[in-house]
Amino acid sequence: MKTNAYIAGVGMTPFGNHMGTPLRELGARAIRMALEDAGIEGADLDAAYMANGGGALIVGQGLIAGQVALRHAGIGKIPVINVENACASSSTAAYQAAAMITAGLHDVVLVCGFDKLYHEDKARTFAVFAAGVDVEQEGGLEAELEKIAEHEGVAIDDTPGAGRSAFMDIYALSALVHMKKYGTTQQQFAAVSAKNSYHGSLNPNAQFQQELSVEDVLASREIVYPLTLPMCSPVGDGAAALVLVSERKARELGLKQPVRMASSVLASGWDHDSDEPTLLEHCAKTAYAEAGVSPGDLSCVELHDASAPSEIIAYEKLGLCDEGKGGELVASGATRLGGHIPVNTSGGLLRKGHPIGATGAAQLIELTLQLQGRAGKRQVPDARVGLAYNGGGNIGTDAAATVVTILEKKDL
């Protein structure tokens, strides 16, 4: 979808352990910051798209989580749409809000992703992620993984999901396949985590701000081979919000550093043939075409590094390098601040954190700050075009939902 929505304001809480803070308060805090940044009041909103993934299981707040958070922020009456699309929830919310603006139905729309995943009972946390697959498929996720492993000729852990998120088994399997096909090494996966730890050390909102070396990453506790703990995104709590406006409203507000959502593509996984483009390749190709840009035009990228191997694979699917060359790309330093295409300058999911409902909105906030020159110590010089990729859930051999969004610095 080619859009004509502008980002007028952003706000987010630090990500981390907020067990003592109500879910509704996390959302309200990010909303207040975004409204202040945009220079508007809650009464100026035409609608709100509120994204949450774990609220029902973690705090028991389902069905109307968005209305509850908005009420806590002093906002009511407007249409509220609650969005749940796994880790892609708030990316989906932004897609929907931009569509309404582009269609001319609204001028000012709030997008907020907010979530809590920390719980004293870890089984409750793991249950959130376990719901992101087809829970009624015959044999469950274990049978699906075994089928893929047999087809690819790799061996996997014989107890998928034992004491960890089942998605780590999915990521480990994709890593093993990549290693077998292209010679990618565990050291190259560790280089992703080390790079993102450096970026996260510069981000005051990041959940983890300690810089790690490749050696530190490799020496950490193994989760499931080849993944060590720093190669896996953590659970987390937090909220992120954006105010999207029409071009007319952007002019009225006198936005000094306009950032336009040039394109946004949402698509769902399907049982595709092995020679078909993946879901991410499909979304990226469409988003580039609709925005009128190519991978070479990108200044920076925020992508879904739920595991370190996921980032390397995404490099290739987004066209940042040739197939099989993702490991070499990260090892070269190209995706680190100072390289020619910095990736996950926020610290990514690995270090900024991954409160699933808030993740997509947080990616868009990082890109907005970069394009506006407000990213502080992690600023990419002269950033003009940014891409966000966020995936969620699992269907067969691919994500259940993927969103690719391209932002551009655009004069009004």
**Residues annotated catalytic, as ranges:** 87, 354
Q: Say whether 243 sits in a helix, a strand or coil.
A: strand
Q: What is the per-residue burial (b if ≥16 Cβ within 10 Å, else e) of 116-131?
A: bbbbeeeeebbebbbe
Task: Report the C-alpha gap between 303 and 229 in whole angstroms.
Answer: 19
Q: How far is CA 205 from CA 12, 94, 217, 351, in A?
A: 8, 21, 22, 10
| Helical ranges in 224-322 per DSSP H | 247-253, 279-291, 308-317
| Helical ranges in 185-319 per DSSP H | 186-200, 214-219, 247-253, 279-291, 308-317
What does residue 234 show for φ and ψ, rounded to 5 degrees? -85, 165
Q: Is 54 within 8 Å of 357 (Cβ atoms)?
A: yes
Strand 385-392 and strand 300-302: pairing? parallel
339 secondary structure, DSSP code: S
Q: How far is CA 106 from CA 101, 244, 248, 368, in A?
A: 5, 10, 11, 21
Task: Report the C-alpha gap between 71 and 174 in whole angstroms.
Answer: 42
Q: Is 134 within 8 Å of 395 (Cβ atoms)?
A: yes
Task: Report the C-alpha gap between 108 and 5 in whole angstroms.
Answer: 9
Beta bridge mates, 405 = 264, 388
Task: Report the C-alpha gap between 272 and 219 in whole angstroms.
Answer: 38
Q: Which residues contact 127 (CB under 8 A, 6 or more apart)?
A: 57
388, two tokens: 């966000």
CA atoms within 13 A on the CB side of 39: 10
